[in-house]
Structure 1
Amino acid sequence: MIEKVNPKHPDKIADRIAGAIVDLAYAKEDNPKIAVEVLIGHGMCHAIIETSAVLDEKDIEDVITRIAGNVTPDIVIVPQDTHLAKNQEEKIKCGDNGIFKGVPLTTEQKMLSVIANEIYDAYPYDGKYILNGDRLIICQSNAKTTDLKSTYPNAQINPLGDWTGGTDVDTGATNRKLGSDMGDSLTGGGLHGKDLSKADVSVNIYAFLKAQETGKTVNLVCAIGDDTIDGKPYSEIVEIAREYIHSVGGFEKFAEWGLF
């Protein structure tokens, strides 16, 4: 059983905004330290940003408008805590405590990812989808149920009827749809809105990729300040995650669908 939400779901809009702000920081520095939390809904977008990089508030407002449309931005920018910053002074080390579980994707999870992408290509509006064995549930806004039924005749579609979604209907927050982004993998933190020094990002990506490669579950734990995880220098894990983020087009693109 798995749920996917598409990039226009309010929670994913929040993830995408957070990711785009992290992209801004990486455009300023090779290894910025940044953490972004976004709450959006009903005409407002609140963004709290802890960052080592100097960011222009106008650039952040432009990101919010581009992704979310006509909403009022409420932006707070503060420097990263000095004690946390010292953790990274000598070399790249683990930036957080955490437990991480990478799990190979199932056929069902891969199938729903394909279906979700297909529907979103045709209807680029707020939507969420569940697959449980043979039962496919499609909740797609701004689409006629009859049109979707012709493509997916055996699916349960829009049980409450046609609907309009988005941030005028619902609120969204960063890292609220981790199941949609990670399948059966598990994290003690969140994937989105953080730089690569954060284990929530790099170790999650590493564990997930290793699980897909080996076909086995990967269990990892780390403490802030660790310089070795799974027998590898932490800096190597960061570079594996950096290559993955580059391969998908950056942190904002990564936030659209998560790891699958």
Structure 2
Amino acid sequence: MAYQAEGENLVPQTRIFVLTNKPECQNLNNHILQIMLNLSNHIKFCHPIKLSSSSENFQNFICSLSIVILNLDEEIDLIKKISIAVKRLPNSRKYFIYIGSSRHVFENLIFNHYMLYDALMTKTFQKDDGNILAADICNILIHNSIPLNSSNTIQISVKRQKFFLRLDDILFVITDNQPHKVIFHLKYDEYQVRMTLKQVHHQCRNLTACHEGALVNLKNITKFNKSNRILYFENGDTCEVSRRYTKKISDLIPMKTF
């Protein structure tokens, strides 16, 4: 997850998405916009995604945290429509806020695993009352923010913008084909940065070399196949280990080696 400095805290890059099947939700949209202006400079708003007709793909949007507001009335095939829309959203950590008259829809989403990671249930409220919605969004931001002076971060620059990465979120860092550039692989994100691997290692001593062009976070490895020298991570990413480092890696994570 990538963070940006705001006051004394680091807050994640955040986008708000509204999935709706209601014909009119302009009042809610206006409240969301006002809420964002009051909460953070780093939250971006995407106009409502209508489940009935929209085929827009938002996966190219850059964000580390997606707040998905489900502004819904029950209808046939609603869960199927929501699952299709969710697949179009960015590959980021997702929080869901449900606005609707029936808990049946919300519970079905959880039981069918469409609610990824954390989910919040709002109380039923009038469409012109954004206080509860604001409180939920505030709680999400607070839960995902970290102190600005945290020693567990590394600062990077992407397209002249400064971001901070938590070291614990890094899976591995690998040299890019372009000279003097590396790619940070996180659980949900990838960032191409103008740095050398030596500079990364200088700031991130907890990362371990697994071949001449890569550093890996041993804490985030799920398993290591010693015979084909491949490291596996929870999100499906893999990283190669050179013969030179095979014994060292297997000795450091014996319980994950097979």
| Shorter-chain TM-score range | under 0.3
Which structure carries more helix by proportion?
1
Name the TM-score, length of structure 2 as normaliser: 0.23
Name the TM-score, length of structure 1 as normaliser: 0.23
Which structure carries more strand by proportion?
2
